[in-house]
């Protein structure tokens, strides 16, 4: 039932128009119905008869998978249908489809790797698996990489939406992209404390292909956002249409995105080694002082207990935009309901009606094309579970650069490297810290106590 299940939950209601999008590969419903009915059976029981139309409506024939347009941003930018169409066409020209990805040389992506990851799950003549992304990733991250696969709504935290091109766990500065190796590391280790599993059992070349494909979806998503935002910047003479020239699409839109990815490879944070002769007890004490002090100020969000119970009503960037959109729609509808339409001339009235149509559609998009916004909690530092990795180096990166997309700010510049190391040491001691004296008779760790 896998193909059927994913279609239905992705498309929400069983409308055929919607079912065209993001279909997963698999047996066609007709084949499956035959399998259920058995060969040569006569007189199907009524139960099956009743079930069949439902199944058939739910799936329809299996069309080629397609990327889902970023309807959230399209609504946010209030694009016209013709403009949405133009973005879809430009993206198809620049990036192809989920079954046949193509890339321009400027992206710096390797098409051979992409082909290994793209397309339906299948094996070639020597039994080599293709379609890795849909086999391993699309359930959660979606065919488009919008973080809205069929299982997404049930996960906490939500799967990453690659389209804004923002990644949290990396070895580069906050504003920089992750390196290829950063993505590989996440694929290998998974993200502890989230639903992201480890894919360490996959071969090196497969992981490599998947990391490349994530970059592909991310670059594609960023280009999509840039295109949609570019409509606002158009001049009147452009008549609401983006110029379909190499100059604009490649040099102005694609190049900056691609360059950011390429430059990340040389932008790994230079981490000074932790002094070898460091006195760990003193370092932990110093780290504690910094944690609670006004310089590093970790306490404000991670709480006086370190349980992540400080500033706990914030949102990450992905959820914040959705939250703000909900406010825009609600506020807009409220304001529109208060408008005195009888005082309007015909121009104002048609503008008012257009506003209502837009708000209503945006509301539907928020309902069907976005996940319910969810707050982000500062990490509970007493559990010893760190999403971005538990090596001291990983913690150093997090503190130095902050976490892109999340409220966690960067300490670099204002907190010197040796102090960052002290904080790392203190944080690493927190899961074992308790209100008492450490000793053989008190082996309890904080996690059990709490």
Partner 1 sequence: MAKTFGWRCDVALAAAVLLACVGCGRGAPVAGPQADGAAATALRATLAEASEGGGGSAAAVSTGTGWATLKGTFTFLGSPAAPKELVVDKDTEVCSRGGMKLYERSLIVDDATKGLANVVVFLRKSTRVKTEASPDQVLFDQKNCEFLTPVFAARVGQPVSVKNSDPIGHNTNISGTSFNQLIPAGDSTIFTSGRETGLPVSVTCNIHPWMKAYAVFREDGYVAVSANNGSFTIPDLPAGEPLEFQVWHERATGRSGALSLDQPELKWNAKGRFKLTLTEGEVRDLGTLEVPVDAIGG
Return the number of the residue (6 or 380) whose C-beta is nearest partner 1.
6
Identify the three-state secondary structure at position 18: helix
Angle at 165 between CA 164 and CA 167, to 5 degrees: 115
Tokens standing for 257?
């995105």
Minimum distance, C-beta of residue 123 to partner 1, in the bound complex (Å): 27
Taking alpha carbons only, the member of 366, 107, 327 closest to residue 217 is 107
- Give SS3 for 96: strand
Minimum distance of partner 1 from residue 24's CB (angstroms) = 14
CB of 276 to partner 1, least distance (A): 27
Q: Which residues contact 101 (CB under 8 A, 6 or more apart)?
A: 95, 111, 114, 115, 118, 213, 216
Smaller CB separation from partner 1, 58 or 306: 58
Considering the complex, state which of residue 122 and residue 327 has its C-beta at the smaller distance from partner 1.
327
Shortest Cβ 394–partner 1 spacing (Å) = 19
Q: Report the nearest approach of partner 1 to the CB of residue 357 (Å).
A: 13
Closer to partner 1 by Cβ: residue 199 or 362: 362
Identify which of residues 346 and 435 has a Cβ nearer to partner 1 in the complex.
346
DSSP state at residue 181: H
Which CB atom, from 41 or from 341, has the smaller least distance to partner 1? 41
CA distances from 95 to 63, 120, 261, 402 (A): 19, 17, 16, 32
Distance CA 359, CA 361 (A): 5
Closest CA to 371 of 55, 60, 151, 192: 151
Least gap, CB of 253 to partner 1 (angstroms): 11
CB 56 within 8 A of CB 75: no
Rounded to the nearest whole angstrom, what is the least distance from the CB of residue 219 to partner 1 in the complex? 14
Give the helix ranges, DSSP H, for 190-279: 204-233, 246, 255-264
Q: How many residues does the chain have?
A: 450
- The residue (of 107 and 383) whose beta carbon lies closer to partner 1 is 107
Shortest CB 244 distance to partner 1, Å: 6
Shortest Å distance, C-beta 52 to partner 1:
8
Beta carbons within 10 angstroms of residue 45's beta carbon: 10
Nearest to partner 1 of 18, 192 (CB atom): 18
What residues pair up with 268 in beta bridges, in sequence order? 172
Shortest gap between Cβ of 291 and partner 1 (angstroms)?
12
Which is closer to partner 1, CB of 93 or CB of 282? 93
Return d(Cα 412, Cα 332) in angstroms, integer.
41
Q: What is the three-class DSSP state of 353?
A: helix
The token pair that represents 267 in the structure block: 């932008």
Pick 205 or 324: Cβ nearer partner 1: 324
Q: How far is the CB of 396 from partner 1 (least distance, A)?
A: 15
Report d(CA 128, CA 275) in Å as an integer. 48
Residue closer to partner 1 by CB (options 4, 187) is 4
CA–CA dist 78, 173 (Å, integer): 33
- The beta-carbon contacts of 90-97 under 8 Å, at least 24 apart in sequence, are 90/227, 90/242, 90/244, 90/249, 91/67, 91/220, 91/223, 91/224, 91/227, 94/220, 94/223, 94/249, 94/254, 95/67, 95/216, 95/220, 95/223, 97/64, 97/65, 97/66, 97/67
């Amino acid at each position: 039932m896998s193909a059927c299940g994913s279609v239905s939950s992705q498309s929400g209601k069983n409308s055929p128009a919607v079912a065209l999008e993001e279909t997963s590969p698999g047996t066609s419903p007709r084949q499956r119905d035959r399998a259920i009915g058995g060969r040569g059976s006569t007189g199907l029981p009524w139960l099956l008869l009743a079930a069949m139309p439902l199944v058939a409506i739910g799936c329809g024939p299996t069309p080629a998978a397609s990327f889902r347009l970023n309807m959230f941003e399209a609504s946010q930018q209030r694009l016209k249908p013709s403009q949405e169409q133009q973005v879809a066409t430009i993206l198809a020209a620049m990036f192809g489809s989920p079954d046949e990805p193509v890339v321009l040389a400027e992206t710096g992506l390797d098409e051979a790797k992409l082909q290994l990851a793209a397309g339906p799950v299948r094996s070639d003549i020597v039994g080599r698996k293709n379609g890795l992304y849909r086999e391993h990733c699309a359930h959660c991250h979606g065919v488009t990489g919008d973080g809205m696969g069929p299982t997404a709504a049930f996960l906490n935290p939500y799967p990453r939406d690659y389209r804004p091109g923002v990644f949290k766990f990396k070895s580069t500065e906050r504003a920089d992209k992750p390196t290829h190796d950063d993505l590989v590391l996440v694929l290998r280790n998974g993200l502890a404390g989230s639903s992201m599993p480890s894919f360490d059992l996959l071969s090196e070349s497969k992981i490599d292909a998947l990391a490349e494909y994530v970059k592909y979806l991310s670059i594609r998503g960023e280009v999509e956002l840039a295109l949609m935002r570019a409509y606002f910047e158009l001049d009147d003479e452009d008549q609401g249409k983006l110029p379909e020239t190499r100059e604009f699409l490649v040099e102005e839109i694609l190049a900056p995105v691609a360059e950011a990815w390429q430059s990340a490879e040389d932008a790994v944070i230079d981490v000074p080694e932790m002094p070898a002769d460091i006195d760990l007890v003193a370092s932990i004490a110093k780290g504690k002082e910094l944690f609670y002090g006004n310089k590093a100020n970790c306490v404000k969000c991670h709480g006086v207990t370190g349980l992540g119970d400080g500033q706990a009503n914030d949102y990450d960037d992905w959820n914040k935009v959705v939250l703000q959109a909900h406010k825009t729609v609600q506020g807009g509808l409220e304001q529109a309901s208060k408008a005195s339409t009888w005082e309007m001339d015909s121009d104002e009235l048609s503008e008012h009606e257009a506003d209502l149509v837009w708000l209503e559609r945006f509301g539907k998009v928020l309902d069907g094309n976005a996940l319910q916004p969810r707050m982000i909690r500062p990490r509970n530092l007493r559990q010893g579970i760190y999403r971005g990795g538990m090596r001291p180096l990983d913690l150093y990166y997090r503190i130095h650069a902050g976490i892109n997309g999340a409220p966690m700010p960067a300490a670099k510049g204002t907190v010197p490297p040796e102090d960052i190391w002290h904080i790392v040491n203190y944080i690493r001691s927190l899961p074992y810290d308790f209100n008492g004296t450490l000793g053989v008779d008190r082996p309890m760790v904080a996690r059990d106590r709490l």
